[in-house]
Chains A and B, each alone.
Chain A
Amino acid sequence: DQQVKQNSPSLSVQEGRISILNCDYTNSMFDYFLWYKKYPAEGPTFLISISSIKDKNEDGRFTVFLNKSAKHLSLHIVPSQPGDSAVYFCAAISGTYKYIFGTGTRLKVLA
């Protein structure tokens, strides 16, 4: 049972435009969410996080939005750059400190 779902396996966006990556979760006990970015042949790197007491967190070009009632979070990248092309994973944490990852979305930013 996939508790964290990224329903879009891939996404293509033009350079300079907004990239929106989506993530849905089923467990209402999750109270902390993170986004990781992964390049080929490298491990995932932490991008941005959000606590369930907030609905938005911003860091430069990256903004994460959390809609608790819909159990949905999204990552916005504005403006998108070719170097953003990677696989993006969302992850959720519950009280047991286990990270539950989604299956990833491959973002391709076209120059």
Chain B
Amino acid sequence: KAGVTQTPRYLIKTRGQQVTLSCSPISGHRSVSWYQQTPGQGLQFLFEYFSETQRNKGNFPGRFSGRQFSNSRSEMNVSTLELGDSALYLCASSLVASGRSDTQYFGPGTRLTVL
């Protein structure tokens, strides 16, 4: 079974631009979560989607948004990029609910650099 895939793997943008990252979950998984990883901050939860609905949201500004399609694929968008948005963005999928009995499986991440 194929794992979680994320595209692109690397991205360089300039301040003020916008970016869209894509995540394809493991086949059959319906929950997709997004995380931002920066040095010293660990993984910060952005949001979770389940059945095309945002179920949970972390403490990030409105410039960060996402969506999920009917095939469970998810996209994350960041508008008006800032230097501080440079990070590794990780997507994780789980079968039904990102919770106790349902392990999250992570993709390799998209490394975003904002110049």
Q: Which residues of A contact B (CB under 8 A)?
A: 4, 6, 31-32, 34, 36, 41-46, 49, 51, 89, 91, 93, 96-104
Contact = CB atoms under 8 A, between A and B. Distances in A.
Given A51-B100, A93-B99, A100-B45, A43 B55 contact: no
B33 A99 contact: yes
B41 A32 contact: no
B11 to A, nearest CB: 15
Nearest to B47: A98
A53 to B, nearest CB: 11
A43 B42 contact: no
Contacts of A36: 106
A101 B108 CA distance: 17
Nearest to A94: B99
Contacts of B92: 43
9 contacts: A43-B90, A44-B106, A46-B105, A49-B103, A91-B43, A98-B48, A99-B43, A101-B43, A101-B44
Interface centre among B33, B42, B45, B58 (most CB of A within 10 A): B42
Interface in B21-53: 33, 35, 40-45, 48
Contact of A98 (B45, B90, B105, B106): B45
Interface string B59-94: 000000000000000000000000000000010100
Given A46-B105, A99-B33, 6 more contacts: A34-B103, A41-B108, A91-B43, A93-B98, A97-B99, A103-B42
Contacts of B20: none
Nearest 7 pairs of A and B residues by beta carbon = A43-B106, A103-B42, A101-B43, A32-B100, A97-B99, A101-B42, A44-B106
A6 B12 CA distance: 31
Contacts of B104: 46, 99
B97 interface: yes
A46 B103 contact: yes
A98 to B, nearest CB: 5
Nearest to B4: A43
Nearest to B111: A41
